[in-house]
Every structure is written in C-alpha cells, then in structure tokens.
Amino acid sequence: MCTGKCSTFIGISLYPLAILSIICNIVLFFPDLKSTYAKLDADGLYRLTDEVKYMGGVIGGGILVLIPAIHIHSTGKKGCCANRCGMFLSILFAAIGVVGALYSIAVAAVGLINGPVCMTPNGSWGRPFINISESYLSDSKIWDWCRDPKNVVEFNIGLFSALLVAGCLELLLCGFQVINGLFGCICGTCNNKEGQ
C-alpha cells in the first residue's frame, strides 16, 4: 500500500473515533440523563466527576485528533497535499493527534480509577471509591454505595471505557501516521506514479 492511500485510510478511520470521543464526553455531563448534576448546587459545587470537566474526550480525543485527521486524509488525496511537504506536515499533525489521544487516555484512565461522584448512603456527595484498598471495578457488590444518580457507576465505567478504547485506537493510528509520513516524506506518496 502506498503512503498516500495509507494516509487516506488513517484519516478516514480517525473521524468516527474523534466523534465518538466528543459524544461520550458530552454525555458524561448528564448522568441519569438529567442536566441537574451539571448545575451548581447550594454549596456552589457541581455534582460531576472532575475528569468529565477536564474535557479529555472533547479536547484531546476530539478536537486535537479531528484537525489532524482532516489534514492526514487530504494528504492521501491526489493533487491535494499529496507531496513530500504534505507528508512532512502530516507527521506534525499526527504528533498533535498523539498528544490529544494521550490526554484523552490519561483523563479516562483517572476517571475509571477514581470512580464517579455520587450521593452515598449517609446522604453526602463525594467519591466513595477513591480511598478504598481494592478497585471498585472488580467488585460490583459495592456499586450500590452510589444512591444518586441512578446507575452512575455503570454509566461512568461504560463511557470512560469507550473514551479509553477510542483514545488507544487514535494513539495507534496517529503513531502509524508518523511512521507513514516519514516514509512518504522520504519516498513520496506514489500518487503521481499511478497517473503515469
């Protein structure tokens, strides 16, 4: 496969992952599918997990991957950046995508490890799983420590896991593009050879 076609494949593959990251991060603002948790309470606090507010999916896995995806995709098209200079620029854009994917992975991993913000059985709001000796992820019996929002543990695990998987795939694809861009920069995209 020539480096231009590989760039097209990588660029197209990054689009759904970036959109998935953005959607997952936005949905995380609405546990129990209600907006009340994203509003300030009487104490002046949001009842959201801190990692949701860091916007790892929107900024990291979303914007910082979507912009490079557009350039990487156009690098593979014949006549549009399909030259050595375009491939060199795709290396730089792919490096930005790597940074974005790493940010998304880090935020999602910390969100999974620390667990959600919820109301505990004693009526206080906090992160009940943050100071326990074993991981709450492997012991579903303690998930009922969270009374409100309903099913917030499953909600957070599902969406942060999706962000983690999307971030890992984005990291791999952008990493491949760095290598592909290097070969394209040295050898060319081979798009002009096809026309001859």
Tell me the pLDDT tens digit for each residue of 131-188.
888 889 988 888 988 988 889 999 999 999 999 999 999 999 999 999 988 888 887 6
Taking Cα atoms as reference points, which of 11, 8, 5 lies closest to residue 191? 5
Amino acid residing at 91 = I
pLDDT score of 81 more than 60:
no
pLDDT number for residue 194: 42
pLDDT number for residue 190: 67
Taking Cα atoms as reference points, which of 61, 165, 151, 52 lies closest to residue 111? 52
pLDDT number for residue 195: 40
pLDDT number for residue 43: 66
Average pLDDT for the chain: 87
81 three-class SS: coil
Q: Which residues touch 130 (CB under 8 Å, ≥6 apart)?
A: 114, 115
**Containing H/E element for 167?**
helix 152-187
Torsion of CA 55, 107, 21, 33, to 10 degrees: -70
Largest CA distance in the chain: 75
Spatial distance between the Cα atoms of 92 and 64, rounded to a whole number of angstroms: 12
Amino acid residing at 27 = V
| Domain residue extents for the chain | 3-195
